[in-house]
Amino acid sequence: MQLSHRFAEQLPELCHAVKPFPVKAPRVAMLNKSLANELGVSTECLKGEYLFSLLFNDTHNPAIKSVAQKYGGHQFGQWNPHLGDGRGVLLGELKTPKGTFVDLHLKGSGQTPYSRHADGRAVLRSSIREYLASEALHKLNIPTSRALCLIASEEPLKRDFMESAAMIIRTCPSHIRFGHFEYFFHSKQWDLLDQLFDYCFTYYFQTCTRKDKPYLAMLTDICQRTGHMIACWQAYGFNHGVMNTDNMSIHGITFDYGPYTFLDDYIPGYICNKSDHTGRYAFDKQASIALWNLNALAHAFSSKLNIDELKKALATFEPSFLQHYRYLMQQRLGLNTNDTASSSACINGFLALLRDEAADYHLSFLYLTEHLLDIEKGEVDEFAKHFKNSDAFSEWALKYKSVLLNGKADWHTIQNSMYQVNPRYVLRNHFMQEAINRAETGDFTYCDSLFKAVSQPTLFKPEFEIFSKAPKQNQKGIALSCSS
């Protein structure tokens, strides 16, 4: 596993050299073989003592030039300059068989200069949640970081209660956040900010350098990518829970998983983070918060762009978000993407019905898919019986039928396409809690089954049907916090 160290070598003043610190009795508990294959990494490199030698023997690559990055961030709307990689290190950049580069980052690696008196560790609970969620989102075509492997240990950690330490190796195009640019802008370190811009142009925004206004092109690209990502979150009922600017990637990928959730009941104002006392990061506020964060990032471009140019870039977020959200929802409902007015009415009507009775978000799309041919025949009762207000859903189904008829598409073809985009297996919190409970006893079989199910979310498999069930009332609303 040979890595380059572009960030560490070219931007040494933006990071600090730190070696990973080994955990007690480490073992590779989960291994993402599919991702390893995509990255051209032999699974033998990721097993047992060989991997731990690579990580914890600082004479070996990749740990030889590992660094913790410095950045700041707006946390719950308040500027905090005292941030950085407090419990993880960038190991380096790996060249894939396709010729692209990805970061390898070890999360939970121990104290760094930015740990702020914390132990620099991650617990098994949060590591499992990130490992599972990043792959679940990837398989739903939601831009995201991914996890290559999960390392469990026997090292105890004190959080709200005693837990065990764990690590994951995370991959993504880079770990550069909005907060990187914000920090060097607000601290008035203009030379370092310029170095960061130049680095990003060289490796991530090469096409922008060929535009008349490269900085405008870069900010516009980030705005549009972010709009695309948020559209995916909203369409698939994903609530990130802690959209601080230090958790926002310049690549428009889902990043830094904390107290996230996939909605159970469709409650637009749902707040998944019990630390979010004002509901700043509620599900239905994610688009507006993303734009707020982009405005915070835009300040770091203000020495390169005038106010009109900043506004021009920021104005591209909303069209990007709305266009992709409408496209995804049209796909989920099998609607003709050319008939915007009719399809929008169908989408809004369906969501209003789900909201009014807090219906299960994911199963509602699945019920619609399964009963599509009944609706074609005018037999809407089987679909409507899944809902409390069956009359309202029957009325909507008849209107929906008329819109599909106007599209003149084959109903079997529509149903097959809907099966491809409406997940059967969803990473719900009660499934994850069960996986965590078992893993804490050393049993990762449930984790592995859940991982396999959400890696094939639309493919019916009898052995995974347990993961297609709605939660019981006492399994909903599991309290989540930023503790990790």
Q: Name the DSSP letter for residue 141.
A: T
For 41, the token pair is 């990494």
246 noted as active-site residue: yes
Instruction: Say whether 252 counts as a known binding-site residue.
Output: no
Q: Is the Cβ–Cβ distance between 404 and 411 less than 8 Å?
A: yes
**3-state SS string over 291-327?**
HHHHHHHHHCCCCCCCHHHHHHHHCCHHHHHHHHHHH
Q: Please tell me which residue in 221, 246, 265, 360 is annotated as part of the active site.
A: 246
Instruction: Say whether 258 counts as a known binding-site residue.
Output: no
Q: Is the Cβ–Cβ distance between 18 and 113 less than 8 Å?
A: yes
The shares of helix, strand and coil residues in the chain, as percent rounded to the nearest 5, are 50, 15, 35
Instruction: Say whether 210 counts as a known binding-site residue.
Output: no
Burial 112-126 (b: 16+ CB within 10 A, else e): bebbeeebbbbbbbb
The one-letter amino acid code at 195 reads: Q
Q: Name the DSSP letter for residue 273.
A: B
| Partners of 75 in beta bridges | 78
Instruction: Say whether 84 counts as a known binding-site residue.
Output: yes
Instruction: Say whether 86 counts as a known binding-site residue.
Output: yes
Q: Burial, 473: exposed, middle or buried (Cβ in 10 Å; 0-12, 13-18, 19+)?
A: exposed
Q: Name the DSSP letter for residue 360.
A: B
Instruction: Kindly give, in sequence order, each residue whose CB lies less than 8 Å from that of residue 60, ignoring residues fewer than 6 positions away.
Output: 53, 54
Q: Is the Cβ–Cβ distance between 150 and 167 less than 8 Å?
A: yes
Instruction: Kindly give, in sequence order, each residue whose CB lies less than 8 Å from that of residue 78, ignoring residues fewer than 6 positions away.
Output: none
Name the 3-class secondary structure at 30.
strand
| Partners of 80 in beta bridges | 73
Instruction: Kindly give, in sequence order, each residue whose CB lies less than 8 Å from that of residue 463, ignoring residues fewer than 6 positions away.
Output: 449
For 67, the token pair is 């660094």
Instruction: Say whether 256 counts as a known binding-site residue.
Output: yes
DSSP E strands in 88-206: the ranges are 88-95, 101-107, 122-123, 146-158, 162-172
Please give the positions annotated as active site: 246
Residue set of the binding site for ATP: 84, 86-87, 107, 119-120, 170, 177, 256
Residue set of the binding site: 84, 86-87, 107, 119-120, 170, 177, 247, 256
Residue set of the binding site for Mg(2+): 247, 256
